[in-house]
Amino acid sequence: MYLLWLRVAAILYAGGCVAVFPAVLYNSIPWRKTCVHLGGLAFFFHFVSVVEMLVLAHRWMPVGVREIESLLGFLVAGLFFLVWWIYDAISLGIFALPATFFLVFIPALGSTNYRFPSQRVWMSWLVAHIIALLLAYAALGFSLLASVLYLVQERRIKSKIKPGKSSRFAPLDWLPPLDTLERLALATLEFGFPCMTVGLLIGSVLVQQTSLGASYFLDPNILASFAMWIVYVTLLLLRRGVGIRGRKAAYVSGAALVAMMAVWAVNFFSQVHRFGPQ
């Protein structure tokens, strides 16, 4: 029965994750209330699941990777709600709630490794995983390109060169206005973030059919991918929540490119991406 409560908690955590982003990035009061209510219900069902799991096992300490993941997620959620209750800091939920969901999601699949019904189904999910991550990286690349063009256009405008006049900036007359480049950089970033999230979620399921199983968190590429996800969230928070724009936003996007290249480099040391389903 504890598995049922854990699955309910995972669904509610997912709803809280969806609500926390507009609550923080757009400072939306209705989404803030939705986030707190869904997260609170998820925490309650998670508590029931953890207690019932330990009572049925006649012990007070978790055993196995899945039980530890579930308990760790419970502690992360508990710490977030404690901080929210004391300091009213809902912004921390943009990191805490997704982290809790990812920790709870795999244990909620069951006590054993999840198995796909056929090789064809596994391959379909694998293709979806690859496409989602490629879209995420492509969106981040476009966001960076728009930020770089923003810097070029800004310098071009400050040089006070009129369109059509002979200068080194003459071939760049086609560049759109600064506001357009700024909105393009933010729009591509917002498009890539759900792609990154879906890609990681599908990958978490796919890896359960490998020899690694629940220990996928120990793989360097998985750790780097989640670090990339955190970079995505940080970029969104800085651009939409804090309001960083222009030159500073371009520099931040450049740092994100460095992080993205590091993730690609770490992929060569990954054990997950060297094995098919077993």
Q: Tens digit of pLDDT for each residue in 144-170?
A: 888 888 888 888 777 765 555 555 555
Residues 160 and 264 in one domain: yes
SS3 state at 117: coil
Residues 94 and 160 in one domain: no
User: What pLDDT score does 36 carry?
Assistant: 94
Residue-wise pLDDT tens digits, 10-45: 999 999 999 999 998 888 999 999 999 999 999 999
Residue-wise pLDDT tens digits, 187-236: 888 898 889 889 888 887 887 766 555 555 566 667 777 778 888 888 88
Mean pLDDT throughout 52-63? Answer: 76
- Length of the chain (residues): 278
Within-domain flag for 166:
yes
User: What pLDDT score does 277 carry?
Assistant: 46
Whole-number Å distance between alpha carbons of 222 and 269 = 11
Number of domains, the chain: 2
Within-domain flag for 28:
yes
What mean pLDDT, rounded, does the chain reach?
A: 80
- Single out the residue of 208, 43, 78, 66 nearest to residue 57, CA to CA: 66
Within-domain flag for 114:
no
Per the structure, the complete domain to which residue 95 belongs is given by: 2-109
pTM of this structure: 0.79
- Single out the residue of 94, 193, 98 nearest to residue 143, CA to CA: 193
Residues 150 and 84 in one domain: no
Residues 126 and 264 in one domain: yes
Residues 205 and 231 in one domain: yes
In this structure, are residues 132 and 62 in contact, taking their beta carbons and an 8 Å threshold? Answer: no
CB-based contacts of 31, cutoff 8 Å, min separation 6 = 19, 20, 22, 23
Residue-wise pLDDT tens digits, 96-146: 999 899 889 888 877 666 677 788 888 898 899 889 988 988 888 888 888
Higher-confidence position of 174 and 98: 98
User: What pLDDT score does 216 carry?
Assistant: 57
Residues 224 and 266 in one domain: yes
